A and B are shown apart, each in its own frame.
Chain A
Amino acid sequence: MRTYNTSDTSIRLLLDRLITSSNPDIYRNTFHQIGVKLGELLKGKINTESFPIALACTSEDADWLAKGIIETLDIDVDLCVYWSDRLNFGKDTDGKDLEYSNIVKSYEEIDDKSKTLIITKSIISSSCVVRSQIMRLVSKYKFDKIYIVAPVMYKEAEVNLRQEFPDDICRLFEFISFAIDDNLDDRGWVYPGIGGSVYERLDVNPRLYYPHILDSRV
């Protein structure tokens, strides 16, 4: 079952389109439009005290979701893009998978002055990917605020992610999403989520894809 965090029907339509559209171009464009909507929401939260701002995302989210956010914020944002491999180290004593997202490649503009971190991802489920990104960044930089932003999140994503960090880091977190889903399908994917595998739907190989947004950032 899905719970919406927005009454904006245009946003709900965009989320529906992620599920129904089968065309990668439409899917990409929809993510861009959702990025714009998330950017509008973020714009209402940040102020001059928030600067400088860094935004971190995966390679597959950079050209559409993250780009929509950055364009809408319309300010200088330090961009970090990460390529990861998902690893499994077995199980914990409670039977939960010990999953880890290993960052194997990175593009980072960030410097120690950054005060605000925006972590964005197409969907947050196990939190494995954003966990590694946050761990990497908070161990190097000191932020005043961390926005964790995704169009759709799994119901346990926030609790699970908060559990992985000490209180002084958790206090910085603010989760922003348009919908919370509480179902997983047979493959363990959030349902309806974003309509399946984001890589297949975007038609990108995340390991090899080099986002175009980085071309223009020199």
Chain B
Amino acid sequence: MTYLKNKHRGGISAEKGSKYESFYTTFKVVDYLFKTIGVEGDPPEVLFQSQAEAYIDDLLITDDTKLVYHQIKNVADFRWASVEDDFRRQRDASKRAGENYKLVLVYSDREFDEDVPADLEYCTDFSYFPYHPAISTVIQQSSDFRSALKGVLKLSNPSDDKLYALALCILGYWVGNDMQKGLTLRDFKDHIVGNNNISTIFDRDISISDECLRILDSIQGFSYAIKGNSIEWESSRYKNNVTIWSRDLEKRIIRESPHTVNDIVKLM
């Protein structure tokens, strides 16, 4: 128990600078969202915790059926010898508790080829995840991360800045909360859906009120098409414009009730 508490204190201080752990957690949250519900519907019960009281404590993911303990390493010349005892202690503790569990070592070196110790093999997975100080670059380097972000956004061909925005939204929420207490998948989903900042990047079909449509339709020389969450518009003078639709924009249009192309352009 003393060992566990000391390890825990050291872990908290190490965690402060640990971008790698938080980036990996961000990836796992997105991956869970992607594989379950996206940001719609009712999410399954999944809890994400860091520095939980455990031997393997960088990230613990608990769902209905399983506890997955992650050791997340971003050090030069990593060797199994430095962590294998902790893995064994965790294995034994999980066995004693009758858990359905899995241990995972996450490492940032793609070339790492040391085998999992034989006695841990049956309960341990190894996972490579790239490290870079900027999450934008990690998104580029990890095709799984990228695919999961795309899947959650449900955009056919989202530009990289949109993937980046979703990752930042999750990362900021994770880092800004009590990681030890943890956050559920529902917390993340509610944060994303309820976050006005991020809502504009989702390609949800928008609904424009009849009143607003009447105004747009009445402007001579102004044409538009609704595409996902955006409105593509042009006139003989202004081409190639795309505006992300928002309730604020709709309110402005109704309030100002523009009659000419010049008037609507100022609002769009």
Q: Considering the complex, which residues of chain A in the window 163-218 have a beta carbon less than 8 Å from any beta carbon of chain B?
A: 163-166, 208, 210, 214-215, 217-218
Residue A93 is within 8 A (CB to CB) of chain B in the complex = yes
A105/B240 in contact, CB under 8 A: no
Residues of A within 8 A of B198 (CB): 87, 89
* Contact segment of B69-77, B116-124, B162-170: B162-170
CA distance A135 to B242 in the complex (A): 17
Residues of B within 8 A of A166 (CB): 132, 137, 140-141
Counting chain B residues whose Cβ lies within 8 A of the other chain, the interface size class is 35 or more
Residues of A within 8 A of B223 (CB): none
Residues of B within 8 A of A140 (CB): 157, 159
A215/B197 in contact, CB under 8 A: no
With A92-B175, A139-B160, A140-B159 in contact, is A165–B240 under 8 Å at CB?
no
Residues of B within 8 A of A210 (CB): 238, 265-266, 268
CA distance A178 to B200 in the complex (A): 36
Residue B96 is within 8 A (CB to CB) of chain A in the complex = no
Question: Using an 8 Å CB-CB cutoff, how does the interface string of B173-200 with A read, 1 for contact, 0 for none?
Answer: 1011000000000000000000001101
Which A residue's beta carbon lies closest to that of B175? A93
A100/B164 in contact, CB under 8 A: yes
B240/A108 in contact, CB under 8 A: yes
* Contact segment of B11-19, B29-37, B98-106: B11-19
Residues of B within 8 A of A133 (CB): 161
Residue B239 is within 8 A (CB to CB) of chain A in the complex = yes
A89/B197 in contact, CB under 8 A: yes
Which of B22, B132, B200, B267 is A93 in contact with, Cβ under 8 Å?
B22
User: Closest CB of chain A to B46's CB: distance in Å?
Assistant: 21
A89/B172 in contact, CB under 8 A: yes
Residues of B within 8 A of A93 (CB): 15-19, 21-22, 175
CA distance A132 to B132 in the complex (A): 18
A98/B172 in contact, CB under 8 A: yes
A104/B236 in contact, CB under 8 A: no
CA distance A102 to B243 in the complex (A): 12
CA distance A217 to B201 in the complex (A): 28
Q: Considering the complex, which residues of chain B in the window 96-138 have a beta carbon less than 8 Å from any beta carbon of chain A?
A: 132-134, 136-137
CA distance A215 to B262 in the complex (A): 11
Residues of B within 8 A of A88 (CB): 197
With A90-B172, A92-B175, A107-B241 in contact, is A139–B159 under 8 Å at CB?
yes
Residue A76 is within 8 A (CB to CB) of chain B in the complex = no
Which of B19, B132, B141, B201 is A92 in contact with, Cβ under 8 Å?
B19
CA distance A92 to B25 in the complex (A): 13
Q: Is the interface of A mostly helix, strand, loop or mixed?
A: mixed
Which A residue's beta carbon lies closest to that of B197? A87
A90/B175 in contact, CB under 8 A: yes
Residues of A within 8 A of B268 (CB): 105, 210
B240/A107 in contact, CB under 8 A: yes
With A89-B172, A107-B240, A166-B140 in contact, is A102–B165 under 8 Å at CB?
yes
B137/A89 in contact, CB under 8 A: no
With A132-B161, A164-B137 in contact, is A104–B19 under 8 Å at CB?
no
Residues of B within 8 A of A89 (CB): 165, 168-169, 171-173, 197-198
CA distance A53 to B132 in the complex (A): 31
Q: Can you name 17 A-B pairs with beta carbons within 8 Å?
A: A89-B165, A89-B173, A92-B19, A92-B171, A92-B175, A100-B165, A100-B197, A102-B200, A104-B243, A107-B239, A135-B160, A136-B161, A140-B157, A164-B137, A166-B132, A166-B137, A217-B239
Given contacts A98-B171, A107-B241, A210-B238, 15 further A-B contacts (CB under 8 A): A89-B171, A89-B198, A92-B19, A93-B21, A105-B243, A105-B268, A106-B243, A108-B242, A135-B160, A139-B159, A163-B137, A164-B136, A165-B137, A166-B132, A215-B238
**Interface of B with A (CB < 8 Å)?**
15-19, 21-22, 132-134, 136-137, 140-141, 157, 159-161, 164-165, 168-169, 171-173, 175-176, 197-198, 200-201, 236-244, 246, 265-268
